[in-house]
Amino acid sequence: MSHLCACGCGTEVVTPLSPLDWRLTFDGVTITINPSIGNWSLPCRSHYVIKQGLIHWAGDWSDEQIAEGRRRDLLAKRQKQAPSSSPNPIPAPATRRGILRRLRNWLKKFSAYSIVG
């Protein structure tokens, strides 16, 4: 989903909604978006929380805080996206080499036959 930046600069801010990104809760009247929205890539660098339809300003973050927040996000995502077993296992290279060898042998036989014949 997207909304216009709360500071009024008019920039469209996109907040992907998923358990790994932002969670939107609607209590029947108002919406709440968690966690806070930090527009660090925008010139306004606004940072706020939308809670029960109201903007709560969260204040500017230092570059260290932003880096730390991003690192934590990445770690959380990596932990949730654990590698799963592949549903289509790649055929063993030995098998493929076997087919190639057989094909080469067959071609050799064929060319030998053509020369003799």
Q: Which residues of the chain form contacts with Zn ion (CB under 5 A)?
A: 5, 7, 9, 44, 46
CB of 34 to Zn ion, least distance (A): 20
CB of 47 to Zn ion, least distance (A): 10
Nearer residue to Zn ion within complex by CB, 9 or 107: 9
CB of 43 to Zn ion, least distance (A): 8
Nearer residue to Zn ion within complex by CB, 7 or 31: 7
Which of 63, 4, 53, 58 lies closest to 35 in space, CA to CA? 58
51-61 burial code (b ≥16 CB/10 A, e <16):
eeeeeeeeeeb
CB of 11 to Zn ion, least distance (A): 5
CA separation for the pair 117, 112 (Å, rounded): 8
Nearer residue to Zn ion within complex by CB, 2 or 114: 2
Q: What is the CA radius of gyration of the chain?
A: 29
SS3 17: strand
Nearer residue to Zn ion within complex by CB, 42 or 75: 42
